Structure 1
Amino acid sequence: MSQGGAPLIMSPLMWAPEVWWSLFGHFIALSLMSIGGAITLVSDMHRRLVVDDHLLSDGDFTASIALAQAAPGPNVLFVGLFGWYAGGIGGALISMLGIMIPSTTLALAVARWVSTRRHWLSVQAFQAGMMPVTVGLLLATGWVLAPPLATQPRALLLSAVVAVLVWRTKIRLIWLIGAGALLGALGWV
Structure 2
Amino acid sequence: MPVYFLKDLIIYFLKLGTWGFGGPVALVGYMHRDLVVDKKWISEDDYKEGLALSQLAPGPLAAQLSIYLGFVHYRLLGATLVGIAFVLPSFFMVLAIGYAYVSYGGLPWMQAVFYGVGAAVIGIIAMSSYKLTSKSLGKDKLLWIIFIALAVTTFITEEEILWVILLAGVAVWFAKAPPRWLSSGANGMFPVMFVQLQPIATESKLWEIAWFFTKAGAFVFGSGLAIVPFLYGGVVKEFQWLNEQQFLDAVAVAMITPGPVVITVGFIGYLVAGVPGACVAAMATFLPCYLFTVIPAPYFKKYGKNPAIKAFVDGVTAAAIGAIAGAVLVLGKRTLTDLPTVLLALTTIALLFKFKKLQEPLIIAVAALIGITLKLML
Identify the TM-score tier after normalising by the shorter chain: 0.5 to 0.7
**Separation in 2, partners of 1:58, 1:45:** 12
Separation in structure 2 between the aligned mates of residue 107 and residue 178 of structure 1, nearest angstrom = 34
Greater relative contact order structure (CA < 8 Å, 6+ sep): 2
What is the match of residue 125 of structure 1? 312
- Give the structure 2 partner of residue 18 of structure 1: 204
Q: Of the candidates 218, 229, 250, which is equivalent to residue 32 of structure 1? A: 218
Residue 273 of structure 2: aligned partner: 87
In the other structure, the counterpart of 1:181 is 368
Match of 2:39 in 1: none
Give the aligned partner of residue 100 of structure 1: 286
Distance 1:74 1:112 in 2: 24
> Residue 44 in 1 paired to residue 230 in 2?
yes
Identity %: 16
Are the counterparts in 2 of residues 30 and 99 from structure 1 also a CA contact under 8 Å?
yes
Quote the residue 2:255 is aligned against. Answer: 69
Deviation digits for residues 30-81 of structure 1 (CA, Å, limit 9, x no counterpart):
2134544455311211122123322112222222232233334444321111
Partners of 1:46 and 1:178 lie apart in 2 by 28
Comparing 81-90 with 121-130, greater Cα deviation is found at 121-130
Cα pair distance change 1:119/1:62, threshold 3 Å: same
1:161 has 2:346 as partner: yes
Q: Which amino acid aligns with 2:281?
A: S
Against the structure 1 CA distance between its residues 85 and 39, is the aligned structure 2 distance closer, same or farther, given a 3 Å change threshold?
farther
Q: What is the Cα deviation at residue 126 of structure 1?
A: 4.8
Could you state the TM-score of these two structures normalised by the residue count of structure 1? 0.68
What is the CA–CA distance in structure 2 between the aligned matches of 1:132 and 1:181, rounded to whole Å? 33
Displacement of 1:178 in angstroms is 2.8
Distance 1:26 1:143, change over 3 A: farther
SS in structure 2 at match of 1:181: helix
Structure 2: distance between partners of 1:51 and 1:99: 19
Residue 185 and residue 46 in structure 1: after superposition, are their counterparts in 2 closer, same or farther (change >3 A)?
same
Letter in 2 for 1:165: A
Structure 1 CA distance for aligned equivalents of residues 209 and 295 of structure 2: 25
Aligned to 1:7: none
Q: Is the 8 A contact 2:227 2:262 kept in 1?
A: no
**Runs of 4+ that moved beyond 6 A:** none
Stretch of structure 1 that moved more, 54-63 or 165-174: 165-174
Gaps of 5+ in 2: 1-101, 104-201
> Residues 139 and 49 (structure 1 numbering): CA distance in 2 closer, same or farther, change over 3 Å?
farther
Residue 99 of structure 1: how far off its partner (Å): 0.5
User: Residues 47 and 95 from structure 1, CA distance in 2 versus in 1: closer, same or farther, beyond 3 angstroms?
Assistant: same
Distance in structure 2 (CA, Å) of the matches to 1:138 and 1:44: 21
Matched residue count: 174
Match of 2:198 in 1: none
Equivalent residue letter for 1:157: V
Once residues 238 and 327 of structure 2 are traced to their aligned partners in structure 1, the CA distance between those partners, rounded to angstroms, is 18
Q: State the shift of 1:114 in Å.
A: 0.8
